[in-house]
Chain A
Amino acid sequence: MANVRLDGLYKRYEDVVAVNDMNLEIEDGEFICLVGPSGCGKSTTLEMVAGLTSPSEGTVHISDTDVTEFPPKDRNIAMVFQNIALFPHMDVYDNVSYGLRLRSVPKDDIDDRVGRAMEILQLEGMLDRMPAELSGGQRQRVAIGRAIVRDPEVFLLDEPLANLDAKLRVHMRTELQRIQRELDVTTVYVTHDQAEAMTMSDRIAVLNNGRLQQFAPPLECYDRPANLFVAGFIGSPSMNQVHGRVENGVFESESFDVDVAESGVEDDTEAVFGVRPEDVYPAWRTEDVTEWSRGITTTVDVMEPMGDEIFLYLIPERLSRRGDAAVIEGEEGEQQTLLMAVDPDADVAEGDQIEVVFDRTKSHLFDAETGEALVHSLQPEPPEVEKGD
């Protein structure tokens, strides 16, 4: 059992900084996800923990031992790779027992441990198969078997589910969680899929451009995103973000105004207003909302029925009055339409005019310049809200 600590970790390549001042404290037995878009440095960070890449600066501690200069084999870690990386010239038994054989563990002991791992992974009877004869899911499980059989202190997973089909991915996701709970091993899991990160981990480390954006439990990242990037990255579909300005206690934008006087945000601030699609309500269903904003008249532009809910793309009246397509589309991909999630039985059609309100306790304001979150509620003291569904 081990904790992992990254101190001021940097990785510089010739012209890029892949990882920029990474500080992380991962507790014993914790399951954390490194999540971020491609090229954000999450895999590099994992490789530095594994010892496959050496950091340009900073230290890595495992179990309070400085392992920065240790080769991978002396770190007592196990890793599952995105491309699975089973040795194609060895059968399942040889693959799984590879690490044990290298450490000259007695044969009986090896058989015992391999047997147990195969049981956990439901791979009994596959020991003499070659990797090429296995299905994708089986290969993945063999790779996990190879990792758990050595009883490592830290378990590193680099997008292990990325190459599996959607159905298998969801299955393996729960499987992995079960295994992790059973073994109670400190786990670092790299993924670009925020849904994986949300569902599996104890804490999420959101990375962007090599920098740590937020390191918090999934729901905190969701409900109290530290900045615009986290707000946009965590949650699907992502949070509505509207650029504007706080003036005389009112957030003013091209789309709508919101009274933000009670939030304590200073006047004369360039700000971004953020609200998740599920916190936008039609005005006729305000009984769900404890504190709501003033109604905004909008036109339904596009409907996306998902089955369990419908996503509505709304054009605020103020924008549509200007009738300028470019404004509605937004410049440089800046979002101008408002996304709302409604029940599937809601009586709306494309082209309808509806009035919507925001849940003020779940509306966010971000500093437009730095992107840092200013407030996560427009109420002075967010009351204990029980979300009705």
Chain B
Amino acid sequence: MATETGLTDRTDEDRNVLERWSRLAILDSDRVYRGLFAVIVGFFLLIALFPFYWLLLLALTPERLFSDLGLVPIAFNVASFIEAFQVVPFHWYMLNSIVMALMTTVIVIVIGSVAGYVFGRLDFRGKTALLLAVLIISYFPPTAFLIPVFNLLTGNVEVLGISSPRLYNGPGAIVLPLSALVMPLAIYILATFFSQIPDGLEDASRIEGSTRLGALYRVIMPLAAPGVATIAILTFIITYNEFFFSFLMTNGEPENWSPIVWGITRYQGTRAIQYNLMAAASIVGVIPMALIVVLAQEKIVSGLTAGALKE
């Protein structure tokens, strides 16, 4: 049979690389899967990492050499990373973004965990309807809320003669809408995690002397750490990366809580765009995210293993 298919007609020396590889692949199908895996993963890595490479290339190339820019670095101008901070107070924008992302995370965790507790561990009339309402809200595109929310937070809505707060150019204008946007997801995920903590543990905590809220923060949340960490990281990333509200709720001045998005656009002058500085700023802006992902990954993994040990 082997002779008929021609697989053994020739010796390996007669074949080229591709022929050799395909012959081995026919004999061992795992090779095909490994090969496909490598190709697909390579493709996605390329798509994900090429922009970074390009940013780096842009940042390292002085403006006057842009016309010669190819795939290979032609200069190594690290100075643009410093210049970026000199031209625009980019550190200030970053600080704004980080502080607002942290504020959003705290709000979402505090309120979301209480709501998650209620939905996940208590039984009350209308629970399903309420949870469904929360979910439905989360299905709307955030853009749909933009104009009303803008009106609300710029003091243009009046209820019973009381004007809504003027939060434009303040952290509240970004933190509040984003907290509200992330909240449904947080409630849903936390409720699922909390509902899996055995009742006995909460009862034990309450008998030992804590309130329900005390039991939530001392026992339930530590045991649902992977879920809480997931939500915290997700909220931070969403807020830090967010464009829409961040761009529209501030006027772009760093002292007015304008976030990174604004900072990057500041490299765009009336006559020229300083692409190399913009690229350098973008790379610096990504660093906190990268740090969080690396650190949080460890936290999530340790949280998962701690969860695995419980009875």
A71→B211 contact, CB < 8 A: yes
1/0 contact string of B199-241 vs chain A (CB within 8 Å): 0110111111111001000010011000000000000000000
Tally chain B residues at the interface, Cβ within 8 Å: 20
A85→B208 contact, CB < 8 A: no
A81→B208 contact, CB < 8 A: no
Q: Is A130 an interface residue (CB 8 A)?
A: yes
| A85 surroundings in chain B (CB, below 8 A) | 198, 200-201, 203-204
| B207 surroundings in chain A (CB, below 8 A) | 50-52, 72-73, 77-79
Residue from B205, B207, B210, B211 whose CB has the most chain A CB atoms within 10 Å: B207
A81→B200 contact, CB < 8 A: yes
- Quote the shortest CB–CB distance from B137 to chain A (angstroms): 30
The stretch of B74-82, B108-116, B150-158, B303-311 that contacts the partner chain? B303-311
* Known A52-B203, A83-B200: A99·B223 in contact at CB below 8 Å: no
- Quote the shortest CB–CB distance from B12 to chain A (angstroms): 55
A132→B309 contact, CB < 8 A: yes
Q: Is A276 an interface residue (CB 8 A)?
A: no
- Quote the shortest CB–CB distance from B221 to chain A (angstroms): 10
How many angstroms between the C-alpha atoms of A51 and B204 in the bound complex?
Answer: 11
Q: Is A88 an interface residue (CB 8 A)?
A: yes
Interface residues on A, range: 20 to 34
How many angstroms between the C-alpha atoms of A321 and B241 in the bound complex?
Answer: 91
- Quote the shortest CB–CB distance from B208 to chain A (angstroms): 4
Q: B206: which of A71, A87, A88, A150 is its contact (CB, 8 Å)?
A: A71
How many angstroms between the C-alpha atoms of A98 and B222 in the bound complex?
Answer: 15
How many angstroms between the C-alpha atoms of A67 and B209 in the bound complex?
Answer: 15
| A98 surroundings in chain B (CB, below 8 A) | 205, 208-209
Q: Is A89 an interface residue (CB 8 A)?
A: yes
How many angstroms between the C-alpha atoms of A130 and B306 in the bound complex?
Answer: 11
How many angstroms between the C-alpha atoms of A73 and B223 in the bound complex?
Answer: 21
- Quote the shortest CB–CB distance from A99 to chain B (angstroms): 4
Smallest CB gap from A149: residue in B:
B208
Smallest CB gap from A89: residue in B:
B222
A146→B208 contact, CB < 8 A: yes
Smallest CB gap from A130: residue in B:
B309
Smallest CB gap from B222: residue in A:
A89
A73→B219 contact, CB < 8 A: no
- Quote the shortest CB–CB distance from A138 to chain B (angstroms): 13
How many angstroms between the C-alpha atoms of A103 and B210 in the bound complex?
Answer: 9
A99→B209 contact, CB < 8 A: yes
How many angstroms between the C-alpha atoms of A87 and B306 in the bound complex?
Answer: 12
- Quote the shortest CB–CB distance from B15 to chain A (angstroms): 57
How many angstroms between the C-alpha atoms of A78 and B209 in the bound complex?
Answer: 9
| A306 surroundings in chain B (CB, below 8 A) | none
How many angstroms between the C-alpha atoms of A72 and B208 in the bound complex?
Answer: 8
A73→B222 contact, CB < 8 A: no
* Known A71-B206, A132-B310: A88·B223 in contact at CB below 8 Å: yes
Q: Is A346 an interface residue (CB 8 A)?
A: no
| B219 surroundings in chain A (CB, below 8 A) | 87, 89
B208→A89 contact, CB < 8 A: no
Which 8 A-B pairs have CB atoms at the shortest separation, nearest pair first?
A85-B200, A99-B208, A88-B310, A102-B209, A85-B204, A73-B209, A132-B309, A72-B206
Q: List 26 A-B contacts (CB under 8 A).
A: A50-B203, A50-B207, A71-B206, A72-B203, A72-B207, A77-B207, A79-B203, A81-B200, A82-B200, A85-B201, A85-B203, A85-B204, A87-B201, A87-B205, A87-B223, A88-B223, A89-B219, A89-B223, A98-B205, A98-B209, A99-B208, A102-B214, A103-B209, A130-B309, A131-B311, A146-B204
Known interface pairs A87-B205, A88-B309; 17 further A-B residue pairs with C-beta atoms within 8 A, sorted by A's residue number = A52-B207, A71-B206, A72-B207, A73-B207, A73-B208, A78-B207, A81-B203, A82-B200, A83-B311, A85-B198, A87-B204, A87-B223, A89-B222, A99-B208, A132-B311, A146-B204, A150-B208
Binding site for B on A (CB under 8 A): 50-52, 71-73, 77-79, 81-89, 98-99, 102-103, 130-132, 146, 150
